[in-house]
Chain A
């Protein structure tokens, strides 16, 4: 049986707005699952329901075989790291870490040993007597982690803990969290709106949109086999290209080109192609486009162009292509890297 089980969980706020629609999910012990989605998609709400900070309107949440819907947050044996760290501003770092242990009636000597342990692990030993106000963002983040780790809970819940850090530190802390989670083997749920963070951290991702879990799977499953147009668009930068058309006689026909597609005939279809799956061809066989904008990122070059029928396309190439704005280029794509979606339901077409 799974460690954490969400069964048909629903959240409706008192004012009638529905934040979470019938959502089910199983999380295995030791797994790091990332809830990812745009702001307002319900990912934080779901996390807070697991933490016990929000009531569950309907459905059931199980932890380690027990229903926890009605259990007080402090009795769930979970620890949470908040976006703004939520350190107790009037307490020293030591007391911040020790607070949860003290209120659980743990003996003083044990607390001391535990705090020392944690502070060594996170290298915050020299900060113990300081107050949160005297710490930098990165240090506060560590203390918040320390407070969570000190209790050795069954589950870690992270609510966008990296979004208040600067870009460089964010990457560094991301790696540390991943390492720490591997080392401790504690089941964790991480909420973020940043798809890079999600891809790099998660054993599995839950992509959410408007209160619905669009897709659950490993980062690679989600990247290579998005089940909905939303997932395809949300995961991956630059974003996937979409071109509307129709499928007839195993061929996808758009306004400016046609491509083989082994699907049933269908009128309203959206073709999705990732920018990195498009390449510039020297031959004139590909789709003819006009270059509108170029972004040179060093490791790759992103070319924004428009074809003869005004379809916007984005191409990401590794090569140091000598393309200038205003040039006409020809592009083609690997036929295996195509994604087709039903225009009405936004779901991926099945063969």
Chain B
């Protein structure tokens, strides 16, 4: 291959500049600011900034409402990941079997993936509105559903709103994963094993593990960070702060409560949590996965 060389050794930096500038302004600078916020306190009028050491962290971790948000975040992540992965997988396996109108199924199932979280939230509102929501009416007639008063009902509202879009995302990846499995391997298993359920758990599912692993990480990250739009357009933390995730609480405390120190500390704690979870996943789970 021919090597392209520029006369000036600085030319390369011009090409790198746009990316570097954007990343610096929107990624690195905010990180630096977050660390500065987390270790300082500002006076209420924004005139002064004092070094606060670990005070912000101590405050956040001793705040009962932070522990509530932490608990909800983990429940939320767990439920959303389980629901959306299993439904996504189920749909992918079924869509993969379809012979006629395969692309129509695919397109329809992929659609929700293209919707922004805030729009997902607004859509969910229509289903769960007290006045005209279909699901609200249905659940209400079954067990007196009222998400504004009952924590469990508010959970259901968010679980449905949150997993709907993720099912589509998982569906695409599982479908792609299914198509990478060699056809003859599936055929060999058809000859070896009668039960389709057993075939699925012994052949298909293990061969999908790389996809599943990837999706679990993606879903956990989604559960951590991408929920802001959905919560802000649906429960807004109702009944009384029980359905706030860590991200949402950081936003509320920082931009509504104007406690930037606490918000910064929360962000850093969250970053550490994600770091730990990811390390655990890669160290202990990934080893058991077979990659082709």
CB-contact partner of A89 in B191, B202, B290, under 8 A: B290
Question: What 0/1 readout, one digit per residue, does chain B (177-198) give for beta carbons within 8 Å of chain A?
Answer: 0000010110111111111001
Residues on B with C-beta less than 8 A from A52 are: 190-191
Task: Check A73–B190 contact: CB distance below 8 A.
Answer: yes
A133 to B190, CA, bound (A): 22
Residues on B with C-beta less than 8 A from A103 are: 192-195, 198, 202
Q: Which residue of B lies closest to A151 (CB)?
A: B192
A100 to B193, CA, bound (A): 6
Question: What 0/1 readout, one digit per residue, does chain B (271-292) give for beta carbons within 8 Å of chain A?
Answer: 0000000000000000000101
Residues on B with C-beta less than 8 A from A76 are: 191
Q: A312 at interface (Cβ–Cβ under 8 A)?
A: no
Task: Check A82–B188 contact: CB distance below 8 A.
Answer: yes
Task: Check A73–B191 contact: CB distance below 8 A.
Answer: yes
Q: A88 at interface (Cβ–Cβ under 8 A)?
A: yes
A89 to B203, CA, bound (A): 9
A103 to B203, CA, bound (A): 12
Task: Check B185–A89 contact: CB distance below 8 A.
Answer: yes
Question: What 0/1 readout, one digit per residue, does chain B (188-217) give for beta carbons within 8 Å of chain A?
Answer: 111111110010001100110100000000
Given contacts A82-B184, A83-B184, A99-B202, contact A90 B191 (CB under 8 A): no
Task: Check A80–B191 contact: CB distance below 8 A.
Answer: yes
**How many A-B Cβ pairs are below 8 Å?**
64
A82 to B191, CA, bound (A): 12
Q: A72 at interface (Cβ–Cβ under 8 A)?
A: yes
Interface size class of B (residues with CB under 8 A): 20 to 34
Task: Check B182–A84 contact: CB distance below 8 A.
Answer: yes
Task: Check A90–B207 contact: CB distance below 8 A.
Answer: yes
Q: A75 at interface (Cβ–Cβ under 8 A)?
A: yes
Q: A16 at interface (Cβ–Cβ under 8 A)?
A: no
Q: Which residue of A lies closest to B100 (CB)?
A: A14
A208 to B189, CA, bound (A): 28
Residues on A with C-beta less than 8 A from B207 are: 89-90
Task: Check A74–B185 contact: CB distance below 8 A.
Answer: no
Q: B99 at interface (Cβ–Cβ under 8 A)?
A: yes
CB-contact partner of A86 in B188, B198, B209, under 8 A: B188
Task: Check A89–B292 contact: CB distance below 8 A.
Answer: yes
Task: Check A88–B203 contact: CB distance below 8 A.
Answer: yes
Q: A53 at interface (Cβ–Cβ under 8 A)?
A: yes
Given contacts A99-B202, A103-B195, contact A88 B190 (CB under 8 A): no
CB-contact partner of B191 in A78, A83, A84, A131, under 8 A: A78
Task: Check A88–B99 contact: CB distance below 8 A.
Answer: no
Question: What 0/1 readout, one digit per residue, does chain A (46-77) give for beta carbons within 8 Å of chain B?
Answer: 00000111000000000000000000111110
Between A and B, 21 residue pairs with Cβ closer than 8 Å are A14-B99, A52-B191, A72-B194, A73-B190, A74-B190, A74-B191, A78-B191, A82-B184, A86-B182, A86-B184, A86-B187, A87-B185, A88-B203, A89-B207, A90-B209, A99-B192, A100-B191, A103-B192, A103-B198, A131-B290, A133-B292
10 additional contacts, CB 8 Å, given A74-B190, A83-B184?
A: A52-B190, A53-B190, A74-B191, A75-B194, A82-B188, A84-B184, A86-B182, A90-B209, A99-B193, A103-B194
